[in-house]
Amino acid sequence: MSTQIKICGIRRAQDVDYINEFLPDYIGFIFWEKSFRCVTLEQALELRRQTNPHIPAVGVFVNETPEKIAEYVQSGAIQIVQLHGQETEEDIAKVRALLPGVPVWKAFKVRSIEDLMRAQASTADRILLDNGYGTGQCFDHSLLTEQYLTRPYILAGGLTPQNIPDVIAKYHPAMVDISSGVETDQCKDRDKIRAAIHAVRSM
């Protein structure tokens, strides 16, 4: 299957204009207050209304309560939940109980083979492998071997339009998730978004 692409950290009307022009597979809203990309539920609802309805929106949460997550999904702002903190298998189960049928993705900070094995064993619908929390840096991709990781995964951290082709060719992620790599001065950049999506779809 072809690799998909998610553009994360959407927060301005201009960002939505770029999304509607170049049509990535997913967009992401960040609801973590410590991120400069954080949006409120009201902002996310307005941006969602402006976005092509065929592009699912993912909500990124860090150690949030299942009840708050359910509120955001039920509002219509997002269609997919991404847990990006220290959430446990029990937390995933709690979110699922409140939101039956809603996909739950779980992010893992990768530093070792043990981290990959935890991701492999996760009950999340999709796993996301990252260097950290919005660091804009790659982790050691040489860890990505089929010996430890046999399920499809989303790759994030340090991706740019320039390195995406090589990453896809070597590691074949199911999806790439990019945020800072399509920004200039901490704002989404139209040309970089276009280039990133073209890099993925030309593979």
CA atoms within 13 A on the CB side of 187: 8
Kindly state the DSSP code that residue 176 receives in the 8-state scheme: E
SS3 content of the chain, % helix, strand, coil (to 5): 35, 20, 40
The catalytic residues are 8, 130
Is residue 58 within a helix (H) or strand (E), and if so which, with residue range?
A: strand 57-61
d(CA 1, CA 173): 10
Assign residue 56 a region: left if phi > 0, alpha if psi is -120 to 50, beta otherwise? beta
